[in-house]
């Protein structure tokens, strides 16, 4: 089957879906960043080996736990707001044109993109 390209116009985005997607992405970024930060922090504390470093380490760990919780919340809010703003602006500018491949524009385009 030849590779066909179809252009579709995105006119609406689900704010809830966009918020959840942004929250999941923010959670993964915070989780990966926290692991790297913990490794670097542990190496620094081991090199210092001075009194009071345990308290600093506990505070840093508490901050990282809070970051893994706060980042997804902020990501959800941002994704939700971006989608809501897109939904307000898209009718004025005609939406967002996307080019997709592998669709037969005469038969599959309406069926596949009906609920978008």
Residue 6: what pLDDT? 83
Residue 99: what pLDDT? 87
Residue 101: what pLDDT? 81
Query: Of the candidates 99, 74, 85, 73, which has an alpha carbon nearest to the alpha carbon of residue 9?
Result: 99
Per-residue confidence in pLDDT tens, the chain, 116 aa: 456 778 888 899 999 999 999 999 999 999 888 888 777 777 766 666 666 655 666 666 777 888 899 999 999 999 999 999 999 999 999 999 988 887 665 555 455 555 44
Residue 33: what pLDDT? 85
Angle between helix axes 15-48 and 53-93 (nearest 10 degrees) is 160
Query: N- to C-terminal Cα distance for the chain?
Result: 25
Q: Cα 58 from chain centroid?
A: 28
Residue 8: what pLDDT? 86
- Spatial contact of 57 and 39, defined as CB atoms under 8 Å apart: no
Query: Of the candidates 63, 67, 82, 64, which has an alpha carbon nearest to the alpha carbon of residue 20?
Result: 82
């Amino acid at each position: 089957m030849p590779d066909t390209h179809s252009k579709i116009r995105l006119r609406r985005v689900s704010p809830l879906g966009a918020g959840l997607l942004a929250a999941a992405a923010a959670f993964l970024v915070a989780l990966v960043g926290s692991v790297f930060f913990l490794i670097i922090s542990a190496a620094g504390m081991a090199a210092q080996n001075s009194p009071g470093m345990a308290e600093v380490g506990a505070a840093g760990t508490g901050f990282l736990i809070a970051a893994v919780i706060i980042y997804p919340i902020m990501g959800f809010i941002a994704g939700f707001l971006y989608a809501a703003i897109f939904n307000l602006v898209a009718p004025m500018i005609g939406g967002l044109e996307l080019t997709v491949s592998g669709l037969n524009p005469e038969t599959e385009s309406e069926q596949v993109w009906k609920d978008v």
